[in-house]
Structure 1
């Protein structure tokens, strides 16, 4: 149990590496006389890329969302270094969450919906299924999970729209200039309060609804199934 906890992502380090440091470099150090636009952009991108590589090395596994985030960073760098039209930034910012939304919708047609796969890492899913079958509430739970999948996918559609309009509003200068880097830094800084925070709250609402519905349909308390049953936690702590 302790070894698994040690491998969980530190949200504060993630925030610093992916938002704070790139923002500082892009807005303060990308001027001529310091790093300049090109090296400033490369330096800013190096933080999320290094963080992603170290996180992969530590966990020894590829996470779909982490891989998508790294691809997004590389696309931003490509647009900046190739000096493409800044409108591609807006398209890229919208395209990444749009792709996630489509992936969530598509997964609902398979045996491994993304939300279900995510929950299996957070709760004792076998225990929940057993309790549902005993109370003949499996179909009701499945209906709620379908609803949760739609909400989860919908949150990324909202993110795509917010990303597009934020990038379209802020990033207007040509890549390869100080102004472009500064605008990119401003967009990165605003992406957390304007986009990431509301979407995180929306996802928390979805998770809260799943937990509440699970408690209602299984007659179990959250402590009995969330993050594993108490018995499992004790067993894992010994190892």
Structure 2
């Protein structure tokens, strides 16, 4: 009598709730509610609050055994925020840092168009989302490869605009909210408020622009290959 081989456990999808909890909600609560001397104090509140997104990013690496570019970038960003806050530097440096990271990503996206490896293929047109080989074969069959390269260029510009929008909103949010001297309870509360508002004020508009780029890319693929989205999407 043969025994059935146990099925391999599928990889768990990243939890949006856990992501929001560790990266936004918990740090916000700690900075806004536990920065007083009767609780953690201003310095320890920053250390504990920023430890959560760092631990979450490291957990993502140990779980996948791969360096997730955006997780790594998030960890670096959090560490820079913590360092600037603990050193009690002028809050303008946090505003500059908040604007610089997405701004540099936008520039890198545009510059990559001049290389054989445009970043839009990392963000949107990759084999984790689309059956790229099937698309390539259909493009060759219909003789629309040159038109598709133009589509990728246009999509790259839209993606870059999403990063630039995030950069501008990051800077405005930091300049408007961070007005108290570092090392004070008020500054920690402002830092927590900035963290809380980063999702609705920054992420949502940027994601709308990014989704527009994805919609444009998918519609163009359909037009150039005569394949439906169901034909080319990777089945999870």
Same fold at TM > 0.5:
yes
Rounded Cα–Cα distance in structure 1 between residues aligned with 2:107 and 2:10: 31
Which residue number corresponds to residue 237 of structure 1? none
- CA deviations 1:35-80 (Å, max 9, x no partner) are 1111111110011000000001111111222211111000000001
Question: Is 1:190 aligned to 2:171, yes or no?
Answer: no
Q: TM-score, normalised by structure 2?
A: 0.92
Question: Is 1:23 aligned to 2:57, yes or no?
Answer: no
Which residue number corresponds to residue 225 of structure 1? 232
Which moved further from structure 2: 158-167 or 58-67?
58-67
Equivalent residue for 1:73, pick from 78, 82, 88:
78
- 1:8 Cα deviation from its structure 2 partner: 3.5
- CA deviations 1:157-205 (Å, max 9, x no partner) are 1111110011000001111110110000001111111110111111111
Which residue number corresponds to residue 155 of structure 2? 148
Matched position secondary structure for 1:172: coil
Gaps of 5+ in 2: 1-6
Matched position secondary structure for 2:114: coil
Gaps of 5+ in 1: 234-239
**Number of paired residues?**
228
Question: Is 1:203 aligned to 2:210, yes or no?
Answer: yes
Q: Does structure 1 conserve the Cα–Cα contact (< 8 Å) formed by 2:46 and 2:82? A: yes
Q: Does structure 2 conserve the Cα–Cα contact (< 8 Å) formed by 1:87 and 1:172? A: no
Which residue number corresponds to residue 43 of structure 2? 38
Matched position secondary structure for 2:182: coil
Q: Does structure 1 conserve the Cα–Cα contact (< 8 Å) formed by 2:161 and 2:209? A: no
Within-5 A mapping of 1:166-185: 166-185=173-192
Q: Does structure 2 conserve the Cα–Cα contact (< 8 Å) formed by 1:7 and 1:59? A: no
Q: TM-score, normalised by structure 1?
A: 0.91
Q: Does structure 1 conserve the Cα–Cα contact (< 8 Å) formed by 2:26 and 2:49? A: yes
Rounded Cα–Cα distance in structure 1 between residues aligned with 2:129 and 2:8: 16
- 1:7 Cα deviation from its structure 2 partner: 4.6
Change (3 A) 1:53 1:44: same
